[in-house]
Amino acid sequence: MGTPDFAVPALDALAQSAHQIVLVLTQPDRPRGRGRKLAAAPVKRVAEHHRYPVFQPGSVKNGKALKQIEAAQADFLVVIAFGHVLPPAILDIPKFGAINCHASLLPKYRGPAPIQWAVINGEEQTGVTTMMMNRGLDTGDILMMAKEPIGPEDTAGTLHDRLAVTAADLLIATLKGFADNTLKPVEQDSDQATYAPLLRKSDGRISWRKPAVAIESFIRGVTPWPGAFTFHGGKRIKIFKSRPIDTRTVQPPGTVLESFPDELRVATGNGALSIQELQGASGKRLAVEDFLRGYPLSPGEQLH
């Protein structure tokens, strides 16, 4: 059970293993792109390539979904970025239970956006956890973990791609642990739990009152989605890459500061931020020196 790109390496790994996939469940086709044409999710495309039967329930809480999963007579349900909360009636169907691959070191960052929030919060490390699913949200007993460092240049996008491969490897290792009877499930310590809520498009707006270091982490954490942005006048500017500068300034946060001609420095709540790559409302992603040639920003102007 999976839907987006993150689940594809796991499906491919299962396809190349000795395990038999009896059914692939993914979300229904959705309108995508400028033409809003119906398009299949990545997992569906890969499943059809491997010639697996695909079922796309609009809801997992109706009798049709229940009957389809029961008919598959699966030993395990493997869930990775499926996009639905599964009711107990479904979790109880497979012979040995339901395994979930979650992109964090549980119990930290339970919830739908663990990769983004780990980067936004300046974590130096995250990873993937396999767990037995229960009625809670990412609260099941931990089976295995794999750690992954977060580098200073990592965005949510680059980390996502690495963790997707890590999740695939960890899933195969977890199934081997079941076969070998070597797994020892560990109960999560809920006192240590944190939550990673879903990000909306509006959540990409930069708060210049925060310290420069925190803003730089934020920009990396919301790249590529929902994307970091600010406003100059009424015009929206997207920011892709930046560098914090440890300097004192008396200017209000969001103020463009004096700097070299090919540099854009902005005052923050603590220090300044040097913006390196950005995009205007109707332009393309540019290095700061190229952007400033067509859209000059003078010291004292305000971003908000």
User: What pLDDT, on the 0 to 100 scale, is given for residue 83?
Assistant: 85
Pick the CATH number of 202-294 from 2.40.440.10, 3.10.25.10, 2.40.10.120, 2.40.160.20: 3.10.25.10
As beta bridge partners, residue 237 has 230
Burial group, residue 246, by CB count within 10 angstroms (0-12, 13-18, 19+) = exposed
Task: Please state the domain extents for the chain.
Answer: 5-192, 202-294
What pLDDT does residue 184 have?
A: 95
Residue 257 token pair: 């500061």
In sequence order, what are the residues at sequence separation of 6 or more whose Cβ sits closer than 8 angstroms to the Cβ of residue 235? 280, 281
Please count the residues of the chain: 304
Is residue 110's pLDDT more than 90?
A: yes
- Cβ(46)–Cβ(12) below 8 Å: yes
Read off the pLDDT band of 214 (50, 70, 90): very high
Task: Specify which residues 241 forms β-bridges with.
Answer: 277
CB 46 within 8 A of CB 8: yes
d(Cα 194, Cα 207) in Å, to the nearest integer? 22
Report the DSSP pairing between strands 77-79 and 98-102. Answer: parallel
Helix (H) / strand (E) element for 176: namely helix 156-180
pLDDT at 201: 95
Topology, domain 5-192: Rossmann fold (3.40.50)
* pLDDT interval class at 157 (50, 70, 90): very high
* Mean pLDDT value across residues 120-134: 98
For residue 256, give the nearest of 208, 207, 294, 206 by alpha carbon. 208
pTM of the model: 0.95
Torsion of the alpha carbons at 215, 6, 82 and 115, rounded to the nearest 10:
-20
32-41, 189-198, 245-254, range with the lowest pLDDT:
32-41
Same fold, 5-192 and 202-294: no
